């Protein structure tokens, strides 16, 4: 990593202060850059101004000294940003009616273009299909700034690998793929990230970097679907899928373990592979069959889980309609409060649609974001003893699974956390 002396003279603008942009803005400020973070969400900016972080991996204590010293400023107004040496765009890239929705990237591009000055660097970090940086962002920046990409300003793409809740692999120590539209851009983008992370991995074009990100997430989506499909077959074949995965994982080469669960969620896996298949369909009139199949299998998992719970209760002579079900975890990922596209929330909704009375233990998520009708409760002996089924959907480490094992009459465990006679595992 480079010296903080050089960084201190340089101004960085981070557009979009979410799971990706906020850690980057904080890291850049800690590396010595003068950072302005922009977000159109007033609530988020107000919270940041008060050093009140909404991202689990960024504790308030990290924000406070940066805000106090002025090394990090946040605003909703592009007019506050002034000029910049480096701008990173990390705005959402969701799907709309199954197609990429690049409205945030385009609107951020239009705003950034007005602040561009000769020699500055713009990097897109939002996940997107190959060609976005050069075909969508570049013309917007040129039109708004009157400068030419390459000679006038530098432009590149660098995908994010943030893994929320992962204490071992953080922004700083995770290798970062970098790219530029030409040699000078690649050099400028690499030079910036070399001050932020321990290792940069240059690739030959923004398209390659864009596809790299989609490859990584499609790889996860497909492998999770594979193990989910095997989980649905293993039980009837008299095999414990978890034991088989653990055994296969002892192979020191050519295998990587993925575990089954109630489906995939979050901002990335349900969305990113569709960016790839959409573009391949548009440009090559070809279906990426792995993506379609994986999507279909993972989408089916909540329904499958509810079917298993219904079957388990029926075996005890209890109908699902009217049963009291205690769901453990509604976030899509353990130890986080992120409920975006969470399959656990879908399971809760399906249970309620079939007449179950659903209560949930979810220690991290904002209760206002949970499915309407779900009552949030604490995990207590009395709560467990008065429920017909306990369902483990998100295996937050802070939950007492021993208490569940001791007091529940029936448990459906989609995460392999409980042991005992009354435990029905996925
Ligand atoms: N969350 C992850 O773990 C993760 C990992 C890798 C890549 N990504 C990708 O990174 C991008 C951002 O994801 P995120 O999870 O940080 O999203 P997020 O929703 O948490 O944050 C994005 C922020 O951008 C703001 N925004 C939208 N339009 C804006 C504009 N024109 N100007 C300024 N701010 C604007 C929103 O208000 C929001 O606060 C997406 O493309 C996503 O796919 C996310």
213 lines ligand 1 (CB under 6 A): no
Query: In whole angstroms, what is the distance from residue 4 CA to residue 106 CA?
Result: 32
The alpha-helical segments, DSSP class H, found in 136-262 are: 138-145, 183-194, 206-234, 241-248
Based on the domain organization, do 286 and 305 belong to the same domain?
Answer: no
Q: Is the CB of 58 under 6 A from ligand 1?
A: no
Among 56, 91, 109, residue to substitute to test ligand 1 (most atoms within 8 Å of Cβ): 91
Give the whole-angstrom CA distance, residue 422 versus residue 284.
52
Which residue minimizes the CA distance to atom 15 of ligand 1? 19
Task: Supply angle C-alpha 333, 336, 171, rounded to 5.
Answer: 95
Q: How far apart are CA 198 and CA 174, in angstroms?
A: 7
Residue 171 has phi, psi (to 5 degrees) of -55, -45
pLDDT of residue 4: 54
User: What is the model's pLDDT at position 288?
Assistant: 93
- Token digits of residue 413: 């465990």
- Spatial CB neighbours of 276, under 8 Å, sequence gap ≥ 6: 129, 211, 214, 218, 288, 291
Contacts of 406 (CB under 8 A, 6+ apart): 381
Please check whether residue 133 lies inside any domain of the structure. yes
Residue 110 lies in a domain: yes
Q: Going by CA atoms, what residue is nearest to atom 30 of ligand 1?
A: 108
pLDDT at 380: 98
Same domain? For 109 and 247 the reply is no
> Does ligand 1 have an atom closer than 6 angstroms to the CB of 210?
no
**Residues 8, 55 within the same domain:** yes
Q: What is d(CA 189, CA 149) in angstroms, rounded to the nearest whole number?
A: 14
Burial label, 413 (beta-carbon count in 10 A; 0-12, 13-18, 19+): buried
- pLDDT for res 81: 86
* Gap between the Cα atoms of 318 and 230, Å rounded: 28
pLDDT reported for residue 56? 83
End residue of a domain, out of 249, 273, 291 = 291
Non-local CB neighbours of 113 within 8 Å, separated by 6+ positions: 140, 141, 142, 143, 144, 145
Residues 6+ apart with CB under 8 A from 154: 119, 120, 121, 122, 180, 181, 184, 185, 188, 189
Distance 158 CA to ligand 1 centre (A): 14
**Which residue's alpha carbon is nearest to atom 44 within ligand 1?**
20
Amino acid 8: pLDDT: 61
- Whole-angstrom distance, CA of residue 377 vs CA of residue 397: 17
Does 119 share its domain with 235? no
pLDDT means per 10 residues, the chain with 426 residues, are 61 96 97 96 97 92 96 94 95 93 98 97 97 98 98 97 88 97 98 97 98 96 98 96 98 97 90 92 93 96 98 97 98 92 97 98 92 95 97 97 97 97 95
Instruction: Report the nearest atom of ligand 1 relative to the CA of 39.
Output: 34
18 lines ligand 1 (CB under 6 A): yes
255 in a structural domain: yes
Q: Which domain holds residue 68?
A: 4-204
Pairwise CA distance, residues 406 & 261, whole Å:
23
For ligand 1, atom 24: residue with the closest CA: 16
| Domain tally, the chain | 3
Using DSSP bridges, classify how beta strands 95-96 and 411-413 pair: parallel, antiparallel or unpaired.
unpaired
Q: Answer yes or no: do 49 and 121 share one domain.
A: yes
- For residue 336, which of 386, 268, 388 has the smallest C-alpha distance? 268
Alpha carbon 398 to chain centroid, angstroms: 21
Q: How far is the CA of 87 from the centre of ligand 1 (A)?
A: 15
Strand partners, 235: none
Instruction: Classify burial at 111, counting beta carbons within 10 Å of its beta carbon; exposed 0-12, middle 13-18, buried 19 or more.
Output: buried
Active site residue ranges: 268
Sign for the CA dihedral angle at 99, 135, 268, 345 comes to negative
Give me the pLDDT at residue 2, please.
47
125 CA closest ligand 1 atom index: 10
Shared domain check, 339 and 284: no
Same domain, yes or no: 187 and 232: no
* Last-in-domain residue among 291, 311, 336: 291
Question: Could you tell me if the CB of 162 is within 6 A of ligand 1?
Answer: yes
One domain for residues 40 and 182: yes
In a domain, 398, yes or no: yes
Q: Is 220 in the pocket of ligand 1 (CB under 6 A)?
A: no
Q: Kindly state whether residues 9 and 145 are assigned to the same domain.
A: yes
The pLDDT, as a whole number, for residue 6 is: 61
State whether the beta carbon of 16 lies less than 6 angstroms from ligand 1. Answer: yes
């Amino acid at each position: 990593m480079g010296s903080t002396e050089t960084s201190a003279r340089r101004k960085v603008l981070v557009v979009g202060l979410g799971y990706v942009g906020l850690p980057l803005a904080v890291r850049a400020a800690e590396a010595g850059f003068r950072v302005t973070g922009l977000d159109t969400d007033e609530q988020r900016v107000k919270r940041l101004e008060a050093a009140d972080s909404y991202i689990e991996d960024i504790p308030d204590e990290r924000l406070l000294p940066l805000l106090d010293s002025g090394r990090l400023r946040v605003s909703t107004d592009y007019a506050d940003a002034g000029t910049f040496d480096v701008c990173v765009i990390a705005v959402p890239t969701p799907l709309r009616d199954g197609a990429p929705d690049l409205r945030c990237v385009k609107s951020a591009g239009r705003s950034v273009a007005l602040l561009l000055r000769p020699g500055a660097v713009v990097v897109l970090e939002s996940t997107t299909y190959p060609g976005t940086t050069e075909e969508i962002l570049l013309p917007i920046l040129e039109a708004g700034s009157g400068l030419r990409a390459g000679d006038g300003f530098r432009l590149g793409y660098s995908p994010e690998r943030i893994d929320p809740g992962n204490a071992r692999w953080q922004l700083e120590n995770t290798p970062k793929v970098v790219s530029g539209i030409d040699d000078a851009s690649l050099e400028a983008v690499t030079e910036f990230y070399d001050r932020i992370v321990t290792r940069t991995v240059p690739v030959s074009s923004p398209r390659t970097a864009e596809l790299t990100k989609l490859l990584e997430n499609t790889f996860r989506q497909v492998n999770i679907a594979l193990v989910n499909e095997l989980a649905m077959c293993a039980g009837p074949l008299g095999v414990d899928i978890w034991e088989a995965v653990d055994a296969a994982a002892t192979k020191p080469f050519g295998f990587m373990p993925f575990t089954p669960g109630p489906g995939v969620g979050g901002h990335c896996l349900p969305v990113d592979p569709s960016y790839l298949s959409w573009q391949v369909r548009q440009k090559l009139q070809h279906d990426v069959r792995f993506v379609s199949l994986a999507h279909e299998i993972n989408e089916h998992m909540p329904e499958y889980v509810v079917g298993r719970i219904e079957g388990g209760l029926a075996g005890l002579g209890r109908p699902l309609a009217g049963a009291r079900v205690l769901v453990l975890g509604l976030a899509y990922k353990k130890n986080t409060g992120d409920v975006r596209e969470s399959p656990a929330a879908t399971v809760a909704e399906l249970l309620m649609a079939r007449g179950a009375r659903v209560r949930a233990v979810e220690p991290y998520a904002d209760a206002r974001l949970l499915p309407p009708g779900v009552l949030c409760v604490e995990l207590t002996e009395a709560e467990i003893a008065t429920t017909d089924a306990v369902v483990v959907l998100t295996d937050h480490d802070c939950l007492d699974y021993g208490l569940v094992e001791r007091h529940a009459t029936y448990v459906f465990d989609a995460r392999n956390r409980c042991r005992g006679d009354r435990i029905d595992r996925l």
